[in-house]
A and B are shown apart, each in its own frame.
Chain A
Amino acid sequence: MNNDVVIKAENISKQYRLGEIGTGMLSHDLKRWWALARGKEDPFLKVGVENDRTRKANSEYAWALKDINFEIKRGDTLGIIGKNGAGKSTLLKLLSRVTGPTTGQIKIKGRIASLLEVGTGFNPELSGRDNIYMNGTILGMTKKEIGRKFDEIVDFSGIEMYIDTPVKRYSSGMYVRLAFGVAAHLEPEILIVDEVLAVGDAEFQKKCLGKMGDVASHGRTVIFVSHNMQAVQSLCKSAMYMKSGRVMEVGPTDVVINNYLNREVKNCLVRKWEEQDDMPGNDKVRLSSAEIVLHNPEAGNIIDVNTPFDIRFEFYSSAEMVNMNLSLVLNTTAGVCVFNVTTQPTMIAKGWHTSVLSIPGKLLNDDVYTISLYFVKDTSAIEYVIHDLLTFEVIDEQRQGAWFGKWVGAVRPTTLPFSLK
């Protein structure tokens, strides 16, 4: 009946105490203890705020997870997605039994192993050989199992020459490869993986993802947490979207990721001002609207690296005749200037004017960009500047191949002719 459910979470919540531990905490502990001693409920379980990291908390307690319920079936591969602070890592910690829930219960069937980091328990003084056994046993393998896989692990990590050297003499790359080698050869019934794939070079990531794919295809259950939608999409059959400590949605990966992007991507695609006094500008020029318009309106508001779109501005010029040009600077939110483009200087009359910049697909990288707009008079004098006028996020496409690392660069002009014969 319920036989194929291997993980069942019932009403789990996790409360964290904010601030420093000191005498201030003691009074709360005493109150809690006194309430429990009289058989009453813990008074501090009723308080607590949602885990929103952008605001200052007005309570001393925060709920990292609140009333989470879900079931995972045998052989499922579940990706957990959500922004920082959504509770993903807390949930993994609970599932891995690193810490306990404040309320609720999780029930698990079968052997479970979790990879919240690679190389847990590595001792720098011990040799590679000893560390394989150390790390393997910490992750729940027996010595016999490790012995059986030993050659494979050494082979996988490519450190045969250094196997009897203390790992403190390893390069960081060798260290990570050895650590991942052990991790990749775990054979639990349920595997929990945090974003450990962020380590290593591209070739190595490929190897690891391949290995994880193997694990999943052998009927074992995998839970995978990542910010990387591409990795989730290609590895996971279903996904769970979390926000502020709650489960928003569980379902097929495509659907969930799409909804996640629609809700979470921080876009400011349209800005319009109705009243003249509100419009940014001065007595010469006033901007009434700025907006990003996708060429294909069916795509919703999601801009991926292939999406062509227009940036449109409407403004009012009060001068009778003026030689004006618009200058647009595109920055990433990290502050890297991507480019600066300008319109031709044009004599414009008093009245409303429109300006459009077309951005083709396959130009921008996956990143969050902001726009600054300059009104320039006589090609030299800046009449007015509006910084951070619009903000938009470009998301990655579903990539081919097996590499899902961050694509570097402020732009990704994939249409540039680049051939190999």
Chain B
Amino acid sequence: MVQHQTEHDNENWDIKISADSGYLDINLREIWRYRDLLMMFVKKDIVTVYKQTILGPIWFMLQPILTAIIYAFIFGQVARISTGNAPQILFYLGSFTIWNYFAETFKVTSKTFSENATVFGKVYFPRIILPLSKVISGIIKLLIQFLLFFVIWAYYLWVKEAITPNWHMVFFPVILALIAFMSLGFGIIITSLTTKYRDLNFLVAFGIQLLQFVTPVIFPISSIKNPSYHLWLWLNPLASLFEAFKYAFLGQGTGVFNYYWLGYSVIWTIVALVVGIVIFNRVEKKFIDTV
């Protein structure tokens, strides 16, 4: 009877707060219940950026186009780095926009705990909502920015006939999803590791800048003359994604579509995400004591 009662007792509790948690304890139902909050965070991210500006959301587009122009001048004209057969401005605009999405999402999710400690210290909601909202608001910004890319892309495609895109473009959503989840995975790993000891934050700050130059953002891997470096570049899990994107939209010579390396990136993404969720779960309960 007593036994029965305890069992009955255990079934009925909605929330259990205890010292330990399961490894993959991600409560999807709870996240779903907080979906309105997720959307509010996304809205806040998008809307507050251009509050009190005259140009409003146009600022989202100005940043990549100005960057692409400067890149085209420095890397294209001064350093004369090859962009394959593609027009430089288009090459830089496309890959910088995607790179920027990765870098920004990674940077902001890697500070989830430290930057939001005041809110986390006062109220409970599934902590993963916050980094998730950054991933989504980033995607929306990226899509706004890609409007500009597509205009210029269409111009080179139909007016100039300078590029040869192909059916691999259907993989675009997959490439974006992989970049989104990879930045989320790595971001929540870093934020979980830096609640107590912040040393890693310093590495992240300049590491992300250096990473851009070993990722095929401003060059296609094929433009590197010495083939013994190629393997090292491909080992970067981001490499195949940038190469695939450029191959699909800009054509031969600007990138390579390699299923094996894409598979390699998929594995990285899954591992980063799973490891990220595991340690995020372990940290989220008590980080507020040490952050």
The residues of A with any CB-CB pair to B shorter than 8 Å are 1-3, 8, 16-17, 21, 25-26, 29, 93-112, 114, 116-117, 120-121, 123, 125-126, 130, 133-134, 137-143, 166
A21 to B291, CA, bound (A): 9
> CB distance B14 to A142 under 8 Å?
no
- Given contact pairs A105-B19, A108-B17, enumerate 4 new A-B contacts (beta carbons under 8 Å): A2-B8, A17-B290, A98-B124, A120-B123
A93 to B44, CA, bound (A): 27
A26 to B197, CA, bound (A): 9
The residues of B with any CB-CB pair to A shorter than 8 Å are 5, 8-9, 12-19, 33-34, 36-37, 39-40, 43-44, 47-48, 51-52, 119-125, 196-197, 285-286, 288-290
> CB distance A100 to B17 under 8 Å?
yes
A166 to B47, CA, bound (A): 12
With a CB–CB cut-off of 8 A, which chain B residues contact A3? Answer: 12
With a CB–CB cut-off of 8 A, which chain B residues contact A116? Answer: 121-123
With a CB–CB cut-off of 8 A, which chain B residues contact A96? Answer: 123-124
With a CB–CB cut-off of 8 A, which chain B residues contact A108? Answer: 13-17
Partner of B15, one of A100, A107, A138, A139: A107
Q: What are 17 A-B interface contacts by the 8 Å CB criterion?
A: A21-B197, A93-B121, A98-B120, A98-B121, A99-B286, A100-B286, A101-B18, A102-B19, A106-B16, A107-B16, A108-B14, A111-B14, A114-B124, A123-B48, A138-B40, A140-B125, A142-B36
A363 to B53, CA, bound (A): 60
> CB distance B44 to A123 under 8 Å?
yes
With a CB–CB cut-off of 8 A, which chain A residues contact B12? Answer: 3, 109
Partner of B17, one of A101, A110, A139: A101
The verdict on A99 contacting B119 (CB below 8 Å), with A1-B5, A134-B44 known, is: no
Tell me the smallest distance from the CB of A364 to a CB of chain B, in Å. 37
A138 to B51, CA, bound (A): 22
What's the count of A-B pairs with C-beta under 8 Å? 117
With a CB–CB cut-off of 8 A, which chain B residues contact A100? Answer: 17-19, 285-286
The verdict on A126 contacting B16 (CB below 8 Å), with A21-B290, A98-B122, A114-B123 known, is: no
Tell me the smallest distance from the CB of A175 to a CB of chain B, in Å. 16
Tell me the smallest distance from the CB of B193 to a CB of chain A, in Å. 12
> CB distance A137 to B36 under 8 Å?
yes
A112 to B30, CA, bound (A): 13
Tell me the smallest distance from the CB of A48 to a CB of chain B, in Å. 14
A134 to B47, CA, bound (A): 13
> CB distance A105 to B37 under 8 Å?
no
> CB distance B288 to A98 under 8 Å?
yes
With both beta carbons as reference points, the residue of chain B lying nearest to A99 in the complex is identified as: B288
A111 to B13, CA, bound (A): 11
Q: Which of B9, B14, B123, B197 has the most CB of A within 10 A?
A: B123
A109 to B15, CA, bound (A): 7
> CB distance A109 to B40 under 8 Å?
no
A133 to B39, CA, bound (A): 10
With a CB–CB cut-off of 8 A, which chain A residues contact B34? Answer: 137, 140
A140 to B36, CA, bound (A): 9
> CB distance B14 to A110 under 8 Å?
yes
A120 to B19, CA, bound (A): 26
> CB distance A138 to B119 under 8 Å?
yes
> CB distance A101 to B119 under 8 Å?
no
